[in-house]
Amino acid sequence: MVDSRTIKKLEERLTQEKAILEIELSDIGKVDQSNPRNWEGTNGDYETGTADAAILADRFEEKTTNSGIVTELEERFNNIKDALVRIKKDTYGKCNECGEKIPLERLEANPAAATCVAHAD
């Protein structure tokens, strides 16, 4: 297993990154109240009553782009939250698929890694 000092350092990195992602996500999206793992892209309020089709199309495009970013950030955010849970449960550094330990270099490169190299997607 990874020694506790290294885990502590990785945990700090994860906590910092989680805080940054949370700010970024709140900026361009909002969390789904019924599912805290799900974020939705927002782009301000729509005023469908007065907007013409061209404006709506523009806004729709923005919203689509926005959701792409939200999805990426959300995935990263959830991976980090999962990694922090694994640290608490003392299962951090083990592959989710086979239970083998994840090489330290892999964790250093990505502290949120949940699988060994063989099971990387």
- Contact between 116 and Zn ion per CB under 5 A: yes
Q: Closer to Zn ion by CB, 66 or 103: give it.
A: 103
CA atoms within 13 A on the CB side of 113: 25
Q: Report whether 92 contacts 83 (CB < 8 A).
A: yes
DSSP-based helix, strand, coil % in the chain, nearest 5: 60, 10, 30
Q: How many residues bind Zn ion (CB under 5 A)?
A: 6
State the minimum distance, in angstroms, from the CB of residue 111 to Zn ion.
Answer: 17
- Answer for which of 20, 51, 85, 98 binds Zn ion (CB under 5 A) is 98
- Contact between 113 and Zn ion per CB under 5 A: no
